[in-house]
């Protein structure tokens, strides 16, 4: 019987090893980038579930198709107001949690 030479490790362990532990600048940048990517993916998924093109969504929001594409692929440069308009046009409910010192400040 062959033995498995590979050790199974958790995703958190791999991220800690290759990106850095939580609280480090590199890890925080990674986590922020991931959140931004997930937001763009949520917008794209909601648009597709509504069977809308980027152009149609752009018309509802008042921006060009290219702006919708940029938002879906990298929200970093989009205005918060525009992102909120996109979700509103999609009829999507958005919730935010703001925490400071493990205490919720806003819901």
pLDDT tens digit sequence for 26-73: 988 888 888 888 889 999 999 999 999 999 999 999 999 999 999 998
Nearest 10 degrees: CA dihedral of 63, 68, 71, 73? -160
pTM confidence score:
0.71
Domain over 11-106 is classified CATH 1.10.260.40: yes
Question: How many CA atoms, within 13 angstroms, populate the side-chain half-sphere of residue 30?
Answer: 13
Q: At what angle do helices 25-49 and 80-90 cross, to 10 degrees?
A: 30
Based on the number of CB atoms within 10 Å of its own CB, is 74 exposed (0-12), middle (13-18) or buried (19 or more)? Answer: middle
How far out from the chain centre does Cα 58 lie?
19
């Amino acid at each position: 019987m062959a033995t498995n030479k590979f050790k199974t490790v958790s995703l958190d362990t791999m991220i800690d090893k290759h990106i850095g532990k939580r609280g480090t600048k590199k890890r925080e940048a990674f986590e922020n980038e991931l959140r931004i990517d997930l937001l763009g993916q949520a917008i794209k998924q909601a648009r597709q579930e509504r069977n809308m093109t980027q152009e149609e969504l752009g018309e509802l929001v008042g921006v060009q198709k290219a702006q919708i594409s940029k938002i879906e692929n990298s929200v970093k440069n989009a205005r918060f107001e525009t992102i909120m308009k996109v979700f509103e046009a999609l009829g999507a409910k958005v919730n935010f949690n703001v925490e400071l010192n493990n205490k919720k400040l806003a819901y």
